[in-house]
Chain A
């Protein structure tokens, strides 16, 4: 097998997984750089770092890149690809060729997304939610020219790729499990990938439809999202008959489940990392799985809580609020199960464990903030404020990134047969966890003070004056946190080549993937696929001969 087939156009799920992760790291440089520019502009009261129209492009592209091209690619596609076949004891994905195609579809999507910065008028500027008419009418904002077209094409490609990936995940988990590995013996992390893939398959088509309709509105003169009587620069647009609300419904029909597509795998990672390093099974395997299923179901029927103040029928708003805050219940179960999995532990404080613990804390902070936004009446106050920004950055920023880091530090020895540096990992943790929580909690304070998001210069409003004291601290911490990520990137690449050699099962984990060689060869398992005899959490079993029993250990 030549170099190209082995490392570039590979059908090996491990190579593809690492390709995804590296792509996500590259895109994270773009997304993180944009975040830095945004913070610079916001904490520079006199004089502009960027112009207002560029600022809008920055926030739009930062959001899009981080949500879809960093967290989705790295955590869901990247780690999912690497872990799922190993975790189910398969030799590869159900459809290896589709898997390769899926990765090579997302590469042009990344390129188009980055290219849009070069478009006339700049990159898309209507916010990552891409609400029309702003995104549909080129005259409404400079970024809504070619930049938005590229954005839409890139997203369409991304969704195609993500759909192929999700399909592969679901098929692999359902059909490729090793003998003896029943669904209820799957590690929780695999349940989260399974559920989030199904969620993705169900919800992403809505955004595809919306993106195509928006392209039609922009270039073919249709009026899906454009009503009659819109006036730009004193000229009436010819469109009539559409409504911008349709787009919002389509967007959030994807957008809300998408949050869980990202968050659930991070929580799953935490469950498994915590189990290994507490040397005990997580509390409530079954209740956790049922909670995950309940969350997935509820997440599909609450999308309009992003639209409480659009003027929808108040009874509809009430329903969406009642349903939305119900999610806190299964989420609470997850939180309690995760937290009390530490009870009577023999806790080993490795770097992945530290990140998993930080994740538990961040879920608490982020999850509880959701109640303020899901409750319709308080959302009237918090809608479009920095409270929202702080909240979703805690959930789909901090929780997902802490989960990704925990997973990368944890499975790195399996990927490369080497360890990442613990010292650098600890520095990374001690900056990232408290730093991110501090940044986004301070944004909650600003939101409580009524400061509105996507504002180029919040000091325009007098009532914001008390909120402005937090601008500089947030920016300073943000830059420290961004710098710490460079430490991680250095650690990642350096250790993949020069890291200390790791044995096949360095963490003494009972889970099946550690039974493969490190790194696993093509086909993962050598001669025969392993037979599974137990679930992945048999630690400190009373009466057992060993401290832990791998899944392949036959039952007595």
Chain B
């Protein structure tokens, strides 16, 4: 009998449960919030627009964190305070709040959440969104990146600054991974790299993204860059780096059994060093 709990009228001894629950809710909330701020989880920031992304994340952590904590404190407190048998906290009758009170309690979260969320989207988010998807700056360096199972193929236009013709029929993973047309004059000096790219620090970079097979996503966590590659469609990622170094390119969209291995590198170098590197490269058909 003691194990199974058919509650019988007037015998609702709450025992330790309300206290434990109250402690659990409050403690859990504090632990969760603490976990978000105890260390900086995001990897080192290395791009200009990324600062804006991080700012929005911080804004959301702060606002939702406060709501989360307050909510759980109220929850914990209610559970403890209004447990049955807690003397005068339990009145024998319950007066329903008026309609006005109910609407007021609805209006408050409405206004709060619309304000908090749309401030993040419109006021903080839109300018950064513009940097990510706005028109490319005129002095930008143009690079093409093709995703294929399970590598990144990088192409620079070479000395003529023109990308040569490509066609899927010419694609041969070992010899011509991007499918360059050998007979096209513009294609002769195109520079094709496998899995690695170089960009000058501080100069805007526009990356045209194509896929040869399935969906991929061009993700550089340090740059706060993530852009899907859709076969049959050229998408675009743009960024301006703010520090030199070697960063990882990841594939963020499931693309097959080697998805987890689809890693590339991006080398961010000072402008002069980048020039030197670029001059050393040989055109694909040269």
Is A232 in the interface zone, CB < 8 Å from B? yes
The reply to whether A347 and B114 contact each other, CB–CB distance below 8 Å, is: no
Interface flags for B213-251 (1: CB within 8 Å of A; 0: not) read: 111010101101111101111011000000000001011
Q: Are A455 and B215 in contact (CB under 8 A)?
A: no
Given contacts A287-B103, A311-B233, A311-B235, A365 and B5 within 8 Å (CB-CB): no
B128 adjacent to chain A (CB < 8 Å): yes
Give residues in B with beta carbon < 8 Å to A: 1, 3-7, 9, 12, 14-15, 17-18, 21, 24-25, 28-29, 32, 35-36, 39, 41-43, 52-53, 56-57, 60, 64, 67-68, 71-72, 74-75, 78-79, 82-84, 89-97, 99, 102-103, 105-106, 108-110, 112-114, 116-118, 120-122, 124-126, 128-130, 132-134, 148-149, 167-169, 171-173, 179, 209, 212-215, 217, 219, 221-222, 224-228, 230-233, 235-236, 248, 250-261, 263
Give me 16 A-to-B residue pairs in the complex whose CB atoms sit less than 8 angstroms apart, sorted by A's number.
A131-B253, A133-B215, A231-B168, A234-B171, A243-B233, A283-B105, A325-B118, A332-B110, A364-B71, A384-B219, A423-B4, A426-B17, A445-B36, A456-B259, A506-B7, A508-B7
Instruction: List which A50-72 residues lie within 8 A (CB) of chain B.
Output: 51-53, 56
Give chain A nearest CB distance to B237 CB in angstroms: 9
Q: Please report A residues at the B interface, Cβ cutoff 8 Å.
A: 51-53, 56, 125-127, 131, 133-134, 137, 140-142, 226-234, 236, 242-245, 278-281, 283-284, 286-287, 290-291, 309-311, 314, 317-318, 321-322, 325-326, 328-333, 335-337, 339-340, 342-351, 354, 357, 360-361, 364-365, 368-369, 371-372, 374-378, 380-381, 383-385, 419-423, 426, 433-434, 437-438, 441-442, 444-446, 448-450, 452, 454-458, 460-463, 466-467, 499-500, 502-503, 506-508, 539-543, 547
Chain B residues closer than 8 Å to A142, beta-carbon distance: 257
Chain A residues contacting B172 (CB-CB under 8 Å) are: 234
Quick one: given A133-B215, A231-B168, A371-B120, are A346 and B236 in contact (CB under 8 Å)? no
CB distance from A115 to the nearest CB of B (A): 22
Min distance, Cβ B2 to any Cβ of chain A, angstroms: 9
Q: In the complex the two chains form, is B148's CB within 8 Å of A231's CB?
A: yes
C-alpha gap A455/B262 in the complex (Å): 10
Contacts of B214 in A (CB 8 A): 133-134, 137, 140
- Chain A contacts for B93, CB-based, 8 A: 540-543
Instruction: Enumerate chain B residues within 8 angstroms of A460, measured Cβ to Cβ.
Output: 260-261, 263
A385 nearest in chain B by CB position? B252
B260 touches which one: A125, A229, A458 (CB < 8 A)?
Answer: A458
Cα–Cα distance between A539 and B93 once the two chains are bound (Å): 8
Known: A52-B257, A317-B129, A329-B114. A230 touches B75 (CB 8 A): no
- CB-defined contacts of A244 to chain B, threshold 8 Å: 215, 230-232
A310 touches B230 (CB 8 A): yes
**Minimum distance in angstroms from B238 CB to a CB of chain A:** 12
Q: For residue B250, which residues in chain A have a CB less than 8 angstroms away from its CB?
A: 452, 461
Contacts of A426 in B (CB 8 A): 17
Closest to B229 in A: A311
* Residues A284 and B106 in contact, CB atoms below 8 Å apart: yes
* A281 surroundings in chain B (CB, below 8 A): 94, 96
CB pair A337–B105 under 8 Å, yes or no, is yes
Closest CB in chain B relative to A501 CB, distance in Å: 8
Q: Chain B residues near A354 (CB, 8 Å)?
A: 17, 21
Would B124 and A133 count as touching, CB distance under 8 A? no
Q: Tell whether, in the assembled complex, residue B15 and residue A376 are in contact, meaning their CB atoms are under 8 Å apart.
A: no
Q: How far is the CA of A137 from the CA of B125 in the complex (A)?
A: 37
Q: Which residues of B contact A328 (CB under 8 A)?
A: 113-114, 116-117
